[in-house]
Amino acid sequence: MMINNYLVTNINSIINTEDFNGLYQWFYNLLDFLNLSEYATHVVTAILLLTSFTICMFILDYILKNFFIVLVKTFSSKTKTTFDDLLVENKFFHNVTHLIPIALAKILFPIFFLGFPNLTKFVMSLTDILVTVALTLVIRSTIRSIRDYLKSKPRLADKPLDSYAQVSSILVYFFSGIIIFSIITGTDPIKFLISLGAASAILILVFKDTIMGFVASIQVSSNDMVRVGDWIEMAKYGADGTVLEMNLSTVKVQNFDKTITTIPTHLLISDSFKNYRGMQTSGGRRIKRSINIKISSIRYLEKDEIELLKKIQLLAPYIEERQKEIEEYNERTQADQSMPINGRRITNIGMFRAYVTRYIQQNPNIHKEYPLMVRHLQPTEHGLPIEIYTFTNTTVWAVYENIMADIFDHVLAAVDYFHLDVFELPSSDDVRHFIQNSTTNHDSFGN
């Protein structure tokens, strides 16, 4: 008798037998053939009903995913806009279908389990958490779809949209986490946010890289420092290529050897880098390269050498003008021509610079609106550098390299016509010839 009274009391503390609905009573009567105690029958009935309810919700979710989404894909493929295709691709409708069985569970569970207040309270909290998670996934899919749609717009294709999308997603995750924590603990979300103020230092430490990346993304975007598609160079980190992706934490650069270099976003603010966008948009790329002339080969030109150089079509008008200018100057200053250093004379290095300048000016691959110079640099132990400073009319890398190579091929071959020598360090052949000449002279002296 005491045991029966205890079971009745225990059952009443868990369930309210007076509140059972017809469905529960039907399941309860169905289990009479097992000849279980009243308590055991209630437990088995509750488990059976809960299992059946869960299976029904999963079946409903499966049907929605496999039929509703098929209909959505068919419809989106026939529309003109691409936004609905992006929603399908980012599983927006897939996540929406999860909301339907969860919402039905939230409505129907209290009805089916009317006599189980404690179980109903637990399941309602669980469904609230599931609703929060499902809504978070829906919002995340929406954010990603908007990001992909904006990327398709030429005006926004080079903006760091990934960073903004990630920041938005992090904020959604943050508020979702607060709501879930509040559901579990039963506390007010506002009070929980206030309590987080004490832990702000820890949060800043944990999310330091994320915060730095977020601030850097805003600065990079607002100052228009880097865009997707820009060619940047950060030699310190081995990056030299095209920006493929910019997000909250990293910038992906595809180098010209097809390797990928990943750079933390905040380093674009703290470190220096080179962006070639200005060159690419200008329509011209600079050539700045020099050849070293052996200083001992620089001298004045003789008259017969000057006459021979007049056969060079690009130089003939220049030589005529230059000779006339020099003769007028020497006559005006009464320079003694018996000494070559008196007055003014034509040098082979000056004639060479004049020729290279005119050769580049007539080159159709050179940009006519940008500076063009053939100049001396500071003489060094390697000779006198003659630098060509000009711009091509293309920024395509391979074409640019070919244009520059053609120019220097010609210039290096033309040096000899001006009685100049290109400086180069002694090679093995030079050393071998020197030894052979020294041996020959020694033998001749000995004989």
Residue 355 falls within a domain, yes or no? yes
Q: State pTM to two decimals.
A: 0.52
> For residues 292 and 388, is the Cβ–Cβ distance under 8 A?
no
Same domain, 261 and 408: no
The domain that holds 231 is classified in CATH as 2.30.30.60
Q: How far apart are CA 86 and CA 71, in angstroms?
A: 15
Same domain, 126 and 20: yes
Q: Which two tokens mark 191? A: 């009070």
> For residues 230 and 275, is the Cβ–Cβ distance under 8 A?
yes
Residue 60 falls within a domain, yes or no? yes
Position 388 scores a pLDDT of 96
For 348-383, the three-class secondary structure string (H helix, E strand, C coil) is HHHHHHHHHHHHHHCCCCECCCCCCEEEECCCECCE
- Residue 384: phi and psi, rounded to 5, are -100, 115
Q: How far apart are CA 424 and CA 44, in angstroms?
A: 96
Position 418 scores a pLDDT of 94
Residue 106 falls within a domain, yes or no? yes
Position 16 scores a pLDDT of 44
Same domain, 35 and 182: yes
Same domain, 8 and 149: yes
> pLDDT of the chain along its 447 residues, tens only?
333 333 334 434 444 444 445 556 666 666 666 666 666 666 676 677 777 777 877 887 777 777 777 777 777 777 777 787 788 788 888 778 778 778 777 777 776 665 566 767 777 888 888 888 888 888 888 888 888 888 787 777 666 677 777 778 878 888 888 888 888 877 777 776 666 665 666 666 666 777 777 777 777 776 778 888 888 999 888 899 999 888 777 889 999 888 999 988 888 888 888 888 888 788 889 999 999 999 999 999 998 999 999 999 999 999 999 999 998 888 888 888 788 888 889 999 999 999 999 999 999 999 998 999 999 999 999 999 999 999 999 988 889 999 999 999 999 999 999 999 999 887 666 667 777 777 666 555 555
- Residue 274: phi and psi, rounded to 5, are -110, 130
Residue 374 falls within a domain, yes or no? yes
Same domain, 41 and 60: yes
- Residue 387: phi and psi, rounded to 5, are -100, 135
Same domain, 108 and 238: no
Residue 217 falls within a domain, yes or no? no
CA 93 to chain centroid, in Å, comes to: 30
244 DSSP assignment = E
Question: How many domains is the chain built from?
Answer: 4
Same domain, 32 and 178: yes
Same domain, 96 and 114: yes
Same domain, 288 and 399: yes
Q: Within 13 Å, how many C-alpha atoms sit on residue 147's CB side?
A: 22
Same domain, 182 and 60: yes
Residue 211 falls within a domain, yes or no? no
Residue 166 falls within a domain, yes or no? yes
The domain that holds 418 is classified in CATH as 3.30.70.100
Domain limits for position 241: 224-275
Position 8 scores a pLDDT of 36
Same domain, 6 and 120: yes
Q: How far apart are CA 87 and CA 239, in angstroms?
A: 34
Residue 202 falls within a domain, yes or no? no
Other Cβ atoms closer than 10 A to 122: 11
Q: What is the DSSP string of 168-225?
A: HHHHHHHHHHHHHHHHHHT--HHHHHHHHGGGHHHHHHHTHHHHHHHHHHHHHHHTT-
Position 45 scores a pLDDT of 66
Q: How far apart are CA 377 and CA 386, in angstroms?
A: 6
Same domain, 60 and 47: yes
Position 19 scores a pLDDT of 43
